[in-house]
Amino acid sequence: METVQMQPLDQPEATPEETIPQFTVVVKVGGNELDDPAFLDGLVRAIQTIKNDGHTPVIVHGGGKTIAQYQEKLGLEAKFIDGLRVTDEASMDVAEMVLSGLTNKRIVRALVHAGIRAAGFSGVDDGTIYVEPMWHPLGNLGRVGDIQDVDTHLIDTLVAADIVPVISPISFGAHDALSYNVNADHAATAVAAKLGAIKLIFVSNVPGILVAGRVVRAVTADQAEKWIEEGIITGGMIPKVRSATHAVQNGVAQAVITNIAGVQEGSGTGVIGSRTA
């Protein structure tokens, strides 16, 4: 007697748990606020909000204020060329200790304490950020790096394990294997561009670009530069806007200027690339 093979009933195809596309969001935080427990608490909530939205947060941080404090304690004199800080060997040691050690671990501790898996490292680790010495026509800036490339292997490995990367901008000298200090805004821009991040958030102490007392929701890079020339954007807001325009001009889809509350609320000013005809 022939055995009839029963065919299984058609089963609906399994659908991914997460239907919202997962995008990378790079968050750049300065060093001035990182010694404030209230700011760190807000940063933790902001990172949790990004994760709750189904996206992947990556943090890049600075720490200039703390570096200056330790240089003063050690009796190191700050030197500048055309407004740019010269980083000699002793200053480089301080910058690396403060950024890759004290400041970096302060952020990681806050995240881990809140139940968010996080790991801190610098651009030196696994050769994540490769640099060459920055050239300046007026003199030698010392160990100040100009970013040449970003290797995302370590970042990708952590993200795949659901661990938030916390990155110090101290970077790897491509030709001499020395550590170099890098502007944290530039490091965040390079990382965001290489990761194809949906946006780069510059966390500030203001809710966004203010015009006539109101936050502008969006502006093109060209319009922002025009507002600087016209005196509409002034003072401490100028370097923040310049960092955002530099980001979109160097491959980042959108840069956002906001404060820590704005990260949680999704508010602030979005700076986008200029429209082409």
Instruction: Please state, in angstroms and rounded to a whole number, the distance separating the CA atoms of residues 79 and 12.
Output: 67
User: Regarding beta strands 164-173 and 118-123, do their DSSP bridges make them parallel or antiparallel, or are they unpaired?
Assistant: parallel
Angle between helices 237-248 and 184-195 (to 10 degrees): 30
Catalytic positions: 28, 31, 64, 185, 240
253 bridge partner residues: none
Q: Which residue has the tokens 């968050």?
A: 27
Is the CB of residue 265 less than 8 Å from the CB of residue 245?
A: no
Is the CB of residue 66 less than 8 Å from the CB of residue 98?
A: yes
